[in-house]
Amino acid sequence: MDIRLDGKTALVTGGSRGIGKGIARAYAEAGAKVMIASRKAEALADAAAEIGNGCQWVVANTGDPAQAEAALTATIERFGSLDVLVNNAAANPYAGRTIDVDLPRWDKTVLVNLTAPLVWTQLAWRLWMQDHGGAVLNISSVGALKTSGALGVYGVTKAALLHLTEQLAAELGPQVRVNAICPGLIRTDFARVLWEGERGPVVAQAYPLKRLGEPEDIAGAALYLAADTGSWITGQTLVLDGGGLVAIDDPRLAE
């Protein structure tokens, strides 16, 4: 199946690396005009050059509403539309028991993982999608679907993002479709501590598909949901985890 996004414009937050860059590349190769956003200009420039196909970039701190509005406005001004928004940027500044988290790191996690997707979606709706339609894709995590000894705070915010996805899907239809993806362990810099060294192969063997995920595994699903192939899908969560959630209990998957 040749899934295309010709004539569409997509904005991907956290698009300079990992899952975000993988999604941006898939969209660009499918014919979309792509804008990537993150905090560091050098990383964005390198990623845009690697993605090619006319990919552009804009510096924006995802958690800053003013910078979010500037990024969305720049996208519309440069490309003439905003058809797809991917809320991919995430933060995980704390590891440990949720009961022990300090409020500054709690607030930072909530700001980036939950408040920011709401703000970016609000702005996309007001600036373009309310009148022209579109699709929003929120990148959550399998951590939203289970408890964790060390990553509970992250999981709580990602679980809330799933409910936000359903709520916005109910409110914004039929103009805008809103869906979510829950990746399992993907081999990115963001998740490096979970797969680097000897731990990676051990964890991979505990998954039914016997390997860790790659950004391309997420990008294909993100393309399907953004394109016309997903035209009757909204308010849904797609789990892409190599079968981790259905694996027979194994202490290697505890985190």
> Angle at Cα 161 formed by Cα 160 and Cα 167, nearest 5°?
90
Q: How far apart are CA 79 and CA 8, in angstroms?
A: 9
Which residues are catalytically annotated?
A: 154
> What number does CATH give the domain 9-242+249-253?
3.40.50.720
Residue 54 clears pLDDT 70, i.e. is over it: yes
Residue 16 clears pLDDT 60, i.e. is over it: yes
User: In the prediction, which pLDDT does 48 show?
Assistant: 98
Average pLDDT, integer, range 130-146:
97
Residue 14 clears pLDDT 50, i.e. is over it: yes
35-59: string of b/e by CB count within 10 Å (b at 16+)? Answer: bbbbbeeebbeebbeebeeebbbbb
> Reading across the β-sheet that carries 176-183, which strands appear in turn?
56-59, 33-38, 9-13, 84-87, 134-139, 176-183, 237-240
Q: Which two tokens stand for residue 247?
A: 């694996």
Mean predicted lDDT score pLDDT of the chain: 94
Q: How far apart are CA 165 and CA 160, in angstroms?
A: 9
Q: How far apart are CA 232 and CA 223, in angstroms?
A: 14
pLDDT band at 1 (very low <50, low <70, confident <90, very high): confident
Q: How far apart are CA 124 and CA 37, in angstroms?
A: 14
Q: How far apart are CA 25 and CA 13, in angstroms?
A: 13
pTM of the predicted model, to two decimals? 0.94
Helix axes 41-51, 18-29, angle to 10 degrees: 40
202: CB partners within 8 A, 6+ apart: 252
**CA 140, 47, 73, 80 torsion: positive or negative?**
negative
Helical ranges in 30-92 per DSSP H? 41-51, 65-79
Q: How far apart are CA 215 and CA 175, in angstroms?
A: 29
- Count CB neighbours of 122 within 10 A: 14
Q: How far apart are CA 46 and CA 165, in angstroms?
A: 31
User: In the prediction, which pLDDT does 18 show?
Assistant: 95
- Count CB neighbours of 118 within 10 A: 16
Q: Which two tokens stand for residue 61?
A: 């701190």
Which tens digit of pLDDT belongs to each residue from 173-214?
A: 999 999 999 999 888 777 666 656 667 787 788 889 998 899
User: In the prediction, which pLDDT does 254 show?
Assistant: 46
